[in-house]
């Protein structure tokens, strides 16, 4: 029996036992000890978070991303886990950190997901950790160095409770989540490979920054570019048989067609973010900028539009692309248009397995006295690395990081007590997923 199929019977048991009407359980002796260890290490968790936040790790600051990885590697070694740095030269980023624990138990293989980078490059004025009571501010403090801290200290609590050796765990912390390397398949190869041998994925983004929720579905995010060509001419000849409608009218028709064909689809959005049109145009995809030159009395010869496309499932994504192609290909007189779709983040569909895993997590939360955990509306959850596990693992949830707010801004903050809350929840969830709590 392969490593991938070995825990399937246990997974079926978990899926059955996690039904919404499961009654409250008592924490076992082992679970009580796990929670106690997490509580005892709460101050050290904040210290680790502060150290990580004070290292700038903007996605393009490769040395800083590597330095944060080195800090975490030391923490993983301290709890007996092996770690490996994967260089990212071939996808033009710093690289990724992978840590492993090969357990002796028969439970499922758990994949824990974090990321090392932030949106704040060295040029940002927002550079340091500042604490005010139970609240702290700093670059990446909640997205997602807070989540990384939860990963490490949940595993530490399991180690100190004497049970980590029974769990098979792989941790992948990417170094380019905020600004993904290219080609994307190379940049996410390590994560996909880890998902291919794992059974359950737990991701520690902050979700909607509310510890009372978790993410069971994320919409994917891909890009599209429409290029339109018309017949330049004096504006007095517009709509004549040999001139036609011009590039800008055709572009307007295409965008209106997208709206009419797709605007009613649930959880689907398709946003035109940049448009340039005129006699001559330029567009730089890297900087998302362009130029246009034209005159009011000249029929436009060229136009370019770029945008993103977000869907909740792969079939919905393919449906949207097909309709957009159809609209693009049926042109106004004397115009032509093409549409190209770029690679991006796939959707994490809201599967039954994901909802069952959320039910298990919610049960842990209630048993700890923290209350129910409910699903985040997928319209409120952007694309994230967990989506690359879709279709490869039996169950996946995200949003297990701490509470806070204003991420991606200079006002980013964290609710420090939620580090301990999420650490307890995550550690006991992992222990229950291992199927070992019955004998504790």
Question: What does the pLDDT average to over 131-152?
Answer: 97
Name the DSSP letter for residue 4. T
* 375 & 406 share domain: yes
pLDDT at 26: 85
Q: Tell me the pLDDT tens digit for each residue of 175-221.
A: 999 999 999 999 999 999 999 999 999 999 998 889 999 999 999 99
pLDDT at 263 over 90: yes
Domain range enclosing 188: 8-219+347-439
Residue 104's pLDDT band, with cuts at 50, 70 and 90, is confident
pLDDT at 8: 52
Name the DSSP letter for residue 135. E
Question: What does the pLDDT average to over 346-375?
Answer: 96
Question: What does the pLDDT average to over 251-256?
Answer: 98
Residue 356's pLDDT band, with cuts at 50, 70 and 90, is very high
- Out of 307, 341, 375, a domain closes at 341
Confirm whether 199 is domain-assigned. Answer: yes
pLDDT at 435: 84
Higher pLDDT, 9 or 74: 74
> 99: domain CATH number?
3.40.630.10
Opening angle at CA 49, ends 45 and 53, nearest 5: 175
- Out of 302, 321, 341, a domain closes at 341
DSSP letters spanning 99-123: EEE--SSSSPEEEEEEE--BS--TT
pLDDT at 223 over 70: yes
How many domains would you assign to the chain? 2
Give percent above pLDDT 70 in the chain. 93
pLDDT at 15: 52
Residue 13's pLDDT band, with cuts at 50, 70 and 90, is low
Contact 118, 58 (CB under 8 A): yes
Mean pLDDT of the chain: 93
Q: Tell me the pLDDT tens digit for each residue of 60-75.
A: 999 999 999 999 999 9
User: What three-state secondary structure class fits 170?
Assistant: strand
* 21 & 59 share domain: yes
The tokens describing 315, both together, are 């079939």
- Please name the residue that has the structure tokens 């797709």: 262
Q: Tell me the pLDDT tens digit for each residue of 382-423.
A: 789 999 999 999 999 999 999 999 999 999 999 999 999 999
Q: Which H helix or E strand runs over 261?
A: helix 247-262
Contact 403, 211 (CB under 8 A): yes
pLDDT at 245 over 50: yes
* 177 & 228 share domain: no
């Amino acid at each position: 029996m392969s490593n991938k199929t070995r825990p399937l019977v246990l997974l079926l048991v978990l899926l059955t036992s996690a039904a919404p009407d499961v009654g409250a359980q008592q924490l076992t002796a082992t679970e009580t000890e796990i929670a106690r260890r997490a509580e005892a290490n709460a101050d050290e968790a904040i210290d680790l978070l502060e150290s990580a936040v004070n290292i700038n790790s903007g996605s393009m600051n490769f040395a800083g991303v590597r330095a944060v990885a080195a800090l975490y590697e030391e923490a993983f070694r301290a709890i007996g886990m092996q770690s490996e740095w994967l260089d990212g030269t071939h996808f033009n980023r710093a690289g990724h950190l992978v840590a492993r624990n090969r357990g002796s138990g028969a439970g499922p293989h758990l994949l824990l997901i974090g990321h090392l980078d932030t949106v704040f490059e060295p040029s940002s004025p927002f550079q340091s950790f500042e604490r005010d009571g139970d609240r702290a501010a700093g670059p990446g403090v909640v997205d997602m160095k807070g989540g990384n801290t939860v990963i490490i200290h949940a595993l530490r609590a399991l180690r100190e409770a004497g049970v980590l050796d029974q769990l098979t765990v792989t941790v992948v912390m990417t170094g380019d989540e905020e600004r993904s390397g290219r080609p994307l398949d190379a940049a996410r190869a390590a994560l996909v490979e880890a998902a291919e041998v794992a059974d359950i994925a737990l991701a520690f983004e902050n979700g909607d920054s509310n510890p009372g929720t978790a993410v069971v579905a994320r919409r994917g995010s891909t890009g599209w570019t429409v290029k339109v060509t018309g017949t330049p001419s004096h504006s007095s000849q517009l709509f004549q048989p040999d001139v036609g409608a011009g590039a800008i009218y055709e572009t307007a028709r295409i965008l209106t067609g997208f709206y009419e064909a797709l605007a009613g689809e649930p959880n689907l959005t398709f946003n035109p973010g940049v448009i340039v049109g005129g006699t001559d145009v330029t567009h730089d995809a890297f900087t998302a900028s362009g130029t246009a030159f034209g005159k009011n009395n000249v029929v436009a010869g060229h136009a370019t539009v770029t945008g993103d496309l977000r869907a909740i499932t792969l079939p919905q994504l393919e449906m949207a692309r097909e309709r957009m192609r159809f609209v693009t290909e049926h042109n106004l007189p004397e115009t032509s248009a093409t549409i190209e779709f770029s690679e991006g983040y796939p959707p994490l569909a809201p599967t039954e397995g994901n909802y069952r895993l959320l039910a298990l997590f919610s049960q842990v939360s209630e048993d700890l006295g923290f209350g129910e955990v409910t699903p985040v509306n997928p319209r409120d959850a952007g694309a994230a690395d967990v989506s690359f596990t879709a279709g490869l693992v039996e169950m996946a949830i995200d949003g297990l990081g701490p509470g806070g707010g204003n991420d991606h801004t200079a006002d980013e903050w964290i609710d420090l007590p939620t580090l301990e809350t999420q650490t307890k929840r995550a550690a006991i969830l992992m222990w229950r997923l291992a199927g070992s709590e019955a004998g504790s």
